[in-house]
Structure 1
């Protein structure tokens, strides 16, 4: 095998990765030899690196010009890719464009052209129409989760974006599911397909699928008893509609099950708060729509619960991809109502489980999440927050959990038993010389 360039060795070291996997190696080789590539590989197999790494040498040649664009179907996926790219520590500017926060923030970031542009179709199209982006310099297009990005709801905007970039030379499309027909406006010419979907045997071994019969058409009692049985393991509950998400979350709370909910109609800060609470252990249960089936890279999710049956096999695949990632194991549980039949795509050998007669409510999480009304744009970072909470809030290192710093606010997990005392101590204190609101995150 050819010796790795120095930047690649450093980047992998920054990510604490010893070596690329077979799929990532194949992607690097194929992009060096072919203009257009379709990459199919299971969720959690490392596709993000597989399309980011081939871009790097091109970006390094023109660091002050936007030469590559990545189009994704959701803001969460855009932010996830941005995080991975920044973790490579390549000293290349990246700008992420998505709805749900002020367009002006992005416009300011775009005044100095980023090397890499990542975004959702609607917001990218908006910037192109406003001429915030110089589309003539872009030569590489990546469509991540292309089966979703090219669905009817996005086609018009994606077609407009691609049509606005006259100098595209290379295209890379990635997904965890196949698409029968790719629209002509994408412009693929003799694409090479790398199909790792059938080869990923470890993924199949790591995921077990179970069936649970509900005696009631309204499955909430079955879901409640199931969560009691699963205990405090990290669990995502999928519903098909936003209204059902909020209703299910509320009914679980009535039964004393700590949970957070998440869907596309929420304000961005509320979405960030929900995901942060799930990541940091403030809540072990996330109730969500299929929005969370893509782009969320949350470690150690043990259970996926299909409270509502997925609309199709692709949705089933993407939901299940949140667990059993890389070499971890996970379980997907499908709840069937009395009038529902098992979909054909569920394996015949799926185990049917029964619930204990007695439901014991799991212990409450030991963490709570604080909201801090200051972030990166206020020059506040994780080290500042740890120092502040240690020095002013009387917290030890083990009392402080996961910290997430956004542009204008931050979230930090603290031990629940210490939260009230800490908030009382810091209520009149300043961070970086500035008084900011700090409270338990809603």
Structure 2
């Protein structure tokens, strides 16, 4: 067994903790013996310390390179991990990397490599591509809340990051959700699984509230979306007019979003939903039309901007998240006159929004509209061939493709969009000239 290099008593005292809990002790023992560990434990059970202590045990003081990387799905979690590590007063440097603020600040912090890097997939991948991070010295990888990091839009970045770490020896994955598919690129070999889930979260759905100071809740909604970061969210309004007004006001404030309601043409509806599915937009503003029948995977948040008219509507709205063993959160925005409906009897927590809102990172995808579909004998393979040959795109620059009867939508990496459109605007697909443009 490796000799401990830190005083556990001092660390716990700095964190105002009396003793480690069963889960943390088990994680410490398992990570000493095994190189691949999956830790399943409820949110708020102390998972952060359960992986920081094993990391600390493996860090070498005389190694001046980066030794450990922690990947998390959100800015809030990155900052939380950094805060806990700093409170541990270990003498080791940690750098936090996330979107929504100046990259130059992080670049300066990375000039002298920190022992530990914690951050979100997009920003860490960006630093690796810019060669700001020395990756060959990193031997420890933690994927905290890995089920959320593997949601749509993150998997490719995760694959790139892990593929850039040639010296990995130890992998620790944590989650508050069971039965999550783990892709091969993570490289888990015969992992040891610790399951400390209590099973107390019904169907993985948590319910939260946030209070609005005004009857008009738009500022609160904006601040909430900024607080949640670039995670997928459906915002429910009670009327079509409110949907468009809310969508436009969010757009004016810099939040990329799409809207969806029953008065829209079918092509407009398909375009909105496709953009939400493929990561062109992380926010969908809608009426209760979207509360039934829509199967959109990996929706993390349901925001009740307007209070649901009945328990049945509340249940159906929430049914868009926490599906198929995934976790999700329903958030009700309450104006000064509004109270929680009596049918909500589960444990509800209140979100306290920070005083300053930071805009989430903009989505990395755009959507191309092609005026040809199944009825024109066009399929996904044709579209990939067309975009790689005529549009000079690599396969990794092409995202979700949806082929409808008379038109198709294709997600294309935003940085490649202008150049690709220029190349393909006068080209034929299946020997036919069709309209191709950015999807409206």
Instruction: Name the TM-score, length of structure 1 as normaliser.
Output: 0.54
Structure 1 distance, partners of 2:430, 2:413, is 24
Give the conservation status (yes or no) of the 8 Å contact 2:212–2:336.
yes
1:410 aligns with 2:408: yes
1:306 aligns with 2:300: no
Residue 300 (structure 1) shift: 0.4
What is aligned with 2:255? 257
Residue 348 (structure 1) shift: 5.0
List aligned pairs for 1:137-286, cutoff 5 A. Answer: 204-286=202-284
What is aligned with 1:357? 355
Cα distance per residue 1:343-386 (max 9 Å; x no partner): 01122521111101110001110000000000000000000000
List aligned pairs for 1:111-126, cutoff 5 A. Answer: none
* Closer/same/farther in 2, CA of residues 202 and 300 from structure 1, 3 Å limit: farther
1:431 aligns with 2:429: yes
The DSSP-based 3-state class of the residue aligned with 1:412 is strand
Cα distance per residue 1:30-57 (max 9 Å; x no partner): xxxxxxxxxxxxxxxxxxxxxxxxxxxx
Cα distance per residue 1:233-269 (max 9 Å; x no partner): 0000000000000000000001000000000000000
The DSSP-based 3-state class of the residue aligned with 2:290 is helix
Structure 1 distance, partners of 2:376, 2:420, is 22
Give the conservation status (yes or no) of the 8 Å contact 2:205–2:329.
yes
The DSSP-based 3-state class of the residue aligned with 1:249 is helix
Residue 316 (structure 1) shift: 0.3
Instruction: Name the TM-score, length of structure 2 as normaliser.
Output: 0.54
Give the conservation status (yes or no) of the 8 Å contact 2:213–2:336.
yes
The runs of 4+ residues in structure 1 deviating greater than 4 Å are: none
Structure 1 distance, partners of 2:378, 2:306, is 41
Structure 1 vs Structure 2 CA RMSD: 1.1
Structure 2 distance, partners of 1:206, 1:441, is 34
What is aligned with 1:187? none
Give the conservation status (yes or no) of the 8 Å contact 2:301–2:331.
yes
Structure 2 distance, partners of 1:416, 1:267, is 26
List aligned pairs for 1:81-120, cutoff 5 A. Answer: none
Higher alpha-carbon deviation: 341-350 or 403-412:
341-350
The DSSP-based 3-state class of the residue aligned with 1:402 is strand
What is aligned with 1:121? none
Give the conservation status (yes or no) of the 8 Å contact 1:366–1:415.
yes
Give the conservation status (yes or no) of the 8 Å contact 1:203–1:326.
no
Aligned residues: 242
Structure 1 distance, partners of 2:366, 2:396, is 14
1:375 aligns with 2:373: yes
Higher alpha-carbon deviation: 245-254 or 201-210:
201-210
What is aligned with 1:288? 286
The DSSP-based 3-state class of the residue aligned with 2:280 is coil
Residue 428 (structure 1) shift: 1.2
Give the conservation status (yes or no) of the 8 Å contact 1:203–1:325.
no
Cα distance per residue 1:161-189 (max 9 Å; x no partner): xxxxxxxxxxxxxxxxxxxxxxxxxxxxx
Structure 1 distance, partners of 2:339, 2:210, is 12
Structure 1 distance, partners of 2:401, 2:333, is 35
Structure 1 distance, partners of 2:207, 2:322, is 11
Unmatched 5+ stretches in structure 2: 1-198
Structure 1 distance, partners of 2:265, 2:367, is 18
The DSSP-based 3-state class of the residue aligned with 2:350 is strand
1:337 aligns with 2:335: yes
Unmatched 5+ stretches in structure 1: 1-200
What is aligned with 1:80? none
Give the conservation status (yes or no) of the 8 Å contact 2:203–2:325.
no
Structure 2 distance, partners of 1:346, 1:304, is 15
The DSSP-based 3-state class of the residue aligned with 1:354 is coil
1:397 aligned to 364, 375, 395, which one?
395
The DSSP-based 3-state class of the residue aligned with 1:208 is strand
Give the conservation status (yes or no) of the 8 Å contact 1:202–1:327.
no
Cα distance per residue 1:122-180 (max 9 Å; x no partner): xxxxxxxxxxxxxxxxxxxxxxxxxxxxxxxxxxxxxxxxxxxxxxxxxxxxxxxxxxx
